Structure 1
Amino acid sequence: MTNTQAKVEPSLWHRLLDRQLTRRGALGTVAGTAAALALPIRFSEAQAAANNGAPVAADPKTLGPRTLPPFRAIEPTDADTMTLPSGYRWQVLAPWGEPFTADGREIGFNHDFVGFFPVDLLEGGRSSTDALLTINHEYVNSLFVGGNTKDRTPAQIEAEMRAVGVSVVRVRREKDGWKIVPDARNRRIDALTEIELTGPARGSAAVKGATVVRGTVGNCSGGQTPWGTLLTCEENVDGYTKAWAGSGYEALHQGWVTEIDPFDPAWTPKKRTAMGRFRHENVALTVAKDGRVVGYMGDDMQDSCVYKFVSRGRYTPANRNANRDLLTEGDLYVANFGNGTWLLLDYTRNKKLQEAKDADGKPLFASQADVLADARAAALAVGGTPVDRPEDIEIHPRTGEVYVSLTNNSKHGNYFGQIIKFREDGDDWAAEKFLWEVFAVGGPQSGFASPDNLIFDPYGNLWMVTDNSDLGSNPIKGFHGNNAMFFFPTEGPNAGRAYRFAVGPRDAELTGPVWSHDGRTLFLSVQHPGEDSESLEKLTSSFAARPGTKIPRPTLVAIEGFPGWRSA
């Protein structure tokens, strides 16, 4: 059962998008937003406007909106380095291959999502200078991991399986910068780690009867829970079946959301099958008015859908052990942008799933486990709206609106992508209706293209990194330079306007941004620098290479120079 078996009209989303760009939006005047985006942007004119004063706790209720960035925006560049505005500095932290555990394990390859967990979090603390970081490692470049891109040996396959997954790393801010420090919780979760399946698909035929599986792979973006655990999202998992032939790799056991407790190495990681199987980019988790936990997710493919998970149980701040089971059971929904509704993906309660047939007239699903194991096909079967590569989703800390980056869709000529936002009915994240509009549109007129990971600061400003990959010689290359990070005010006269903050090295994406709690450090992953290299003799980048070598290394960087969170 594949997603191609469900009937779908891919052009529906593009008709809806055109309508949103030309009429009054559901939340405001979209025409006004589009007009503002059409104005030429002189990046050199964006002067810093940060107030003076002491840092305050990162509580959005104490902070007012900002309409200009705290930096002078920079121009695009193709330099093989991290380029930042004047007054900001960066350092390499936790590069691929760095030993960091007591037993000599190394930091994995191709960093993505980063979670920031203050070491005193479980005691109610909010340390900004001492934390456990969780770093996703999405995939490997076989040229750099083993030096063989074709006929992998068993040893190379094992090395690749050890290089993906997640690193849990303790870091501390010392006088001369951030450092990795020893800790019994420092560890690697990789493609060979035992992980428990939970939820409706556990032990079902849809996962070949498995209750415990091996490994987590394709670890793209993710999320953090209110109870202090990591949600790592498994995205592109099918290609490993051929690449790792003979290793016992099973694709049906991947493609889920996996929960990991960075504070408790003895707690077995859990794959949350109730949240569905598809190409997960991230999870934006929050707590609804009635205490149920709500998670927003995107399926990172062309003409794929946006999802919402609502837990059955309710969050209890004082009961962490109970909260760690909240994602075991709940309802999965898919968004229909045509009428602004959430459609339930439940086999017993949605007849469309019972009646869905493949091209030969055979039932697509026989159980809820089947629905969850191919959530993409289920979403299209019930009328979910296919959109343009929904990647990261984040929730505005002041308004509660949900922002979605739609990266691009070359199948329909959308090379530049857009960011949309929606508000749930009654401002309740568990609602079944919503209103949406376009926030920003990529292209030469706005200065950015292919929006990917998003993160808000407590003022409600949006920070975004781009994903201009595999698009050939389209117009992006003429104005964008290397992949970059942008700042967007979300309120005031400059709402939706892009200001370039950082530019990464050659061939790289900037991914997984996360703030320290005081707002003085931004942690940012540099993924796949030098990925277009033809060989080890013809490298396109040497970013973060070890001394005396030229092989580029994916890494985490710590960026400083920010004034910290300041009162309005």
Structure 2
Amino acid sequence: MTNPQRTQGRADSSPWHRLLDRQLTRRGALGTVAATAAAAALPLTLGDAGAVSNNGAPILADPQALPPRSVPPFRAIAPGNADTLTLPFGYRWQTLAPWGEVFTADGREIGFNHDFVGYFPLDLLEGGRSSTDALLTINHEYVNALFVGGDTKNRTKQQIEAEMKAVGVSVVRVRREEGGWKIVPDPRNRRIDALTEIELTGPARGSAAVKGATTVRGSVGNCSGGQTPWGTLLTCEENVDGYAKAWAGSGYEALHQGWVTEIDPFDPAWTPKKRTAMGRFRHENVAVTVAKDGRVVGYMGDDMQDACVYKFVSRGRYEPGNRQANRDLLTEGDLYVANFGNGSWVLLDYEKNARLRDAKGADGKPLFAGQADVLADARASALTVGGTPVDRPEDIEIHPRSGEVYVALTNNTKHGNYFGQIVKFREDGDDAAAQKFLWEVFAVGGPQSGFASPDNLVFDPHGNLWMVTDNSDLVSNPIKAFHGNNAMFFFPTEGPRAGRAHRFATGPVDAELTGPVWSPDGRTLFLSVQHPGEDSESLEALTSTFAAKPGTRIPRPTLVAIEGFPGWGGA
């Protein structure tokens, strides 16, 4: 067995690291590093935001002007099991927006189990790229009933209401001030939860597939997401079926969930929209870009064993500067599923694909009556037309330099794939709207690489890949003893060290690290710490006390802000 930390030693002793160490020891308070080349880089226009990959968030530096890096800007750390967030020398973190913190004028609290984080510079709509003042959107995937209500078996009406208010999305203004990041009062601070009114758009709107609904209540199962070039959030609804039993009697309807919901963080008056043209399945995220002809493309994964990878291509074309029109682009479009056997995209269209019209169930009845049915059960549609079942496709992101699409395949215990892998593909002609692609394996999990179960991905402008892991069986599975707690890793994507994992962060007990996103200048990494202490059997037998309120012991999911990075354009 190869020790991954030992194999990284040669990279850690490079002149770049010696220079970095000298820089780090000179740093004092948070945020004292001056941006270098980033300060001279021309800011991207709003229309260019979709051309870079930072969860779709804008970044200051031009990825094509930055050289690739083959070594990380830190000394890799060893695996660990401590109940804290462990970082390399010279890096610091602070708690920001923990569960339960009041942040709106009407007394609403930050939700539970933070996941995807969207970074929207406060001046984005004016063409700005502020790295110190922003609206953050934070997904809240699900609740831990032990912490939110105390009763895990017999939920009361009050507990169900509390849980419904703890999921969804928080829109939070934050600002970098002396001493660190802080939540700032703002009329745009708000919660979208399981009770919020949301409009259905697209082919399934008003159809029998959604029981005739045109507006529905709530967004739940908010896992990862994406950001659009026109400055809106796409929050993805993943594991939504289990709520029907947990919230019995509340009026919850599972068919109204499992979609991609678009939210405008800048406009509280704009009703959120569920984009049914993008299909219903266990959505992990949406990686958004613009094709050569101006159509908007979104890559998506269905987070389930033996499920598929999808691509949505809008009918309309993106118009830089026309935000009102762009906010309707995801209403109509074509949904495709990936066939990795021949590198093709297969159209999921009832009228154009005879296999969908001819499909019948075990009872001999048609599986689909029209396009609304095809979209409402996109998983069945995908498998019907020959979509390739893969190993839990979670996050998908687009390389900012090459345009290649990276897919985290977390694992598949049905077929003995316990460690997962990351694959990448290139579209034919480097056009996101192409019908063909070529793919390859980028990195494979296991003791030899030091990581297991890749989940959320994010790129920086140099083309470095940063990945967090999703291991739910670290305590019970001896084959993962090498891993320690869930962690975050850095991968070069070019050069001789491409695909080699370097551990940057290790999370607290029972937690996942989720939703990484950079400030535009690359000096702050925002990261969610989800479900610390989740395996606790009772409030008297807690496995974690991470981020607990002073004087208490109950762990809290939270957002953290990590600083100490040299910023874009450094050596």
The TM-score, its normalising length taken from structure 1, stands at: 0.92
Looking at structure 2, the residues matched to 38 and 333 of structure 1 have their Cα atoms a distance apart, in angstroms, of: 40
Matching residue within 197, 200, 203 for 1:194: 197
Indicate whether 1:413 and 2:416 are aligned. yes
State the 1:359 CA deviation: 1.1
2:102 is equivalent to residue 102 of structure 1: no
Matched, 1:203 2:206: yes
Query: Per the alignment, in what secondary structure is the counterpart of residue 562 of structure 1?
Result: coil
Q: Does 1:404 align with 2:407?
A: yes
Is contact 1:41–1:446 with CA below 8 Å preserved after alignment? Answer: no
One of 372, 383, 392 as aligned partner of 1:369: 372
Root mean square deviation, CA, Å: 1.4
Corresponding position: 1:314 with 2:317: yes
Pick one of 380, 387, 401 that aligns with 2:383: 380
User: Residue 473 and residue 533 in structure 1: after superposition, are their counterparts in 2 closer, same or farther (change >3 A)?
Assistant: closer
Cross-structure match for 1:54 = 36
How far 1:225 sits from its partner (Å)? 0.2
- Aligned positions of 1:259-408 closer than 5 A: 259-408=262-411
**What is the Cα deviation at residue 530 of structure 1?**
0.1
Q: Does 1:227 align with 2:230?
A: yes
Three-state SS of the structure 2 residue aligned to 1:143 is helix
Whether the aligned pair in 2 keeps the contact of 1:416 and 1:476 (CA below 8 Å) is no
**2:54 counterpart residue number:** none
Task: Give the structure 1 partner of residue 119 of structure 2.
Answer: 116
> Contact 2:474/2:485 (CA < 8 Å) preserved in 1?
no
Query: 1:10-60, CA deviations, whole angstroms, 9 ceiling, x for partnerless residues?
Result: xxxxxxxxxxxxxxxxxxxxxxxxxxx989552455427367871413210
In structure 2, the partner of 1:236 is 239
Are the equivalent residues in 2 in contact too, given 1:222–1:233 (CA < 8 A)? yes
What corresponds to 1:174 in structure 2? 177
**Residue identity opposite 2:94 in structure 1:** Q
Name the CA distance, whole Å, in 2 between partners of 1:119 and 1:302: 39
Shift in Å at residue 146 of structure 1? Answer: 0.8
Q: Is the 8 A contact 1:207 1:253 kept in 2?
A: yes
Equivalents in 1 of 2:479, 2:65: separation in Å? 39
Of 234, 248, 261, the residue aligned with 1:245 is 248
Pick one of 434, 438, 442 that aligns with 1:435.
Answer: 438
Q: Mean alpha-carbon deviation: is it higher for 103-112 or for 41-50?
A: 41-50
Question: 2:74 pairs with 71, 74, 77, which one?
Answer: 71
Tell which deviates more after alignment, 47-56 or 219-228: 47-56
Does the CA-based 8 Å contact 1:285-1:295 persist in structure 2? Answer: yes
User: Contact 1:261–1:267 at 8 Å: present in 2 too?
Assistant: yes
TM-score by length of 2: 0.92
Q: CA deviation at 1:471?
A: 6.7
The answer to whether the Cα contact below 8 Å between 1:447 and 1:479 also exists between their aligned partners in 2 is yes
Per-residue deviation at 1:106? 0.2
| Aligned mates of 2:91, 2:435 — CA distance in 1 | 44
1:516 partnered with 2:524: no
Change (3 A) 1:537 1:440: same
**Per-residue deviation at 1:61?**
1.8
Residue 298 (structure 1) shift: 0.1
Provide the residue aligned with 2:467 in structure 1.
464
Distance 1:242 1:545, change over 3 A: same
Distance (whole Å) between structure 2 residues aligned to residue 206 and residue 250 of structure 1: 12
Q: Deviations over 1:197-235 (max 9, x none)?
A: 000000000000000000000000000000000000000
Tell me the distance in 2 between the aligned counterparts of 1:92 and 1:40. Answer: 30
Deviation of 1:62 after TM superposition, in Å, equals 1.7
CA deviation after TM superposition for structure 1 residue 549, in Å: 0.4
Does the 8 A contact of 2:474 with 2:484 survive in 1?
no
Deviation at 1:307, TM superposition (A): 0.1
Question: Are 1:44 and 1:74, in contact at CA under 8 Å, matched by a contact in 2?
Answer: no
In the alignment, the residues of structure 2 paired with residue 222 and residue 523 of structure 1 have an alpha-carbon distance, to the nearest angstrom, of 15
Code of the residue aligned with 1:431 in structure 2: it is A
Question: Which residue in the other structure is 2:186 paired with?
Answer: 183
Deviation at 1:475, TM superposition (A): 4.1
Q: Which residue identity lines up with residue 339 of structure 2 in the other structure?
A: N
Instruction: Deviation per CA, 1:524-559: give whole Å up to 9, x if none.
Output: 000000000000000000000000000000000000
Match of 1:212 in 2: 215
In structure 2, the residue matched to 1:126 is: 129
Residue 558 and residue 476 in structure 1: after superposition, are their counterparts in 2 closer, same or farther (change >3 A)?
Answer: farther
Given that 2:61 and 2:521 are in contact with CA atoms closer than 8 Å, whether structure 1 keeps it comes out as: yes
Q: CA offsets per residue over residues 216-265 of structure 1, 9 Å max, x none? A: 00000000000000000000000000000000000000000000000000
Deviation digits for residues 336-362 of structure 1, max 9, x if unmatched? 000000000000000000011111111
1:473 is paired with a residue whose SS is coil
Give 1:166's aligned amino acid: V
The 3-state SS of whatever aligns with 1:222 is: strand
Distance 1:296 1:366 in 2: 26
Contact 1:64–1:567 (8 Å) recurs in 2: no
Residue 559 of structure 1 corresponds to which residue in structure 2? 562
Show the 5 A alignment for 1:536-555. Answer: 536-555=539-558
Deviation at 1:473, TM superposition (A): 3.4
Aligned residue identity for 2:79: P
Match of 2:492 in 1: 489
What is the DSSP-based 3-state SS (H/G/I as helix, E as strand, rest coil) of the residue aligned with 1:283? strand
Asked whether the equivalents of residues 224 and 235 of structure 2 are also in contact (C-alpha less than 8 Å), the reply is yes
Secondary structure, aligned partner of 1:267: coil
Counterpart-to-counterpart distance in 2, 1:38 and 1:295: 38
Q: 1:474: Cα distance to partner?
A: 3.0
What residue is the counterpart of 1:155 in the other structure? 158
Q: Any idea what the Cα deviations from partners look like across 1:370-420, whole Å, max 9, x if unmatched?
A: 000000000000000000000000000000000000000011110000000
